[in-house]
Amino acid sequence: MSTRNRTRGRQAIARDAALVRGKTVLDVGCGVGLATFTAAAVGAKQVVAADIAPLTLRLVEKAAAELGFSVAQPVENKGPAGGDSNGDGLLRTQVFDIMSPAAAEPLPPADLCLFADVLYNKVRPSPSP
């Protein structure tokens, strides 16, 4: 997703904060966390940032802490995605690979789901005969 589209999504969340306030928000394909942080800032009860890239999620956690959001610490050694969170942080992260559902832990229930940049595949399907 382009930076311009991510910015529009963040602006939409800020504009319609009542849709997020007091809710559990799942941000699938969170990238750098713009929508994640905006949802947290406008009053979400909890925000789960999910992405395919573990390094990206570590950077989101670091940025969240620097922005003053409480971050739940992952439970170590619990499945391929690192397990569930330990603690009551406003924000938690989860590795999720939509192309490998057998390897991913299920996404948690949420009141509102945000999806960005998740419906593409680097491998192109073969043309039909």
Supply the DSSP symbol for 38: H
Statement: 3-115 belongs to CATH 3.40.50.970:
no
Q: What is the pLDDT along the chain (129 residues), one digit of tens a residue?
A: 445 555 666 778 888 888 899 999 999 999 999 999 999 999 999 999 999 889 999 999 999 999 999 999 754 434 333 344 444 679 999 988 877 766 667 889 999 999 877 766 666 556 655
The domain limits of the chain are 3-115
Q: Give the C-alpha separation, 83 to 80, whole Å.
A: 7
Contact by Cβ (8 Å): 92, 68: no
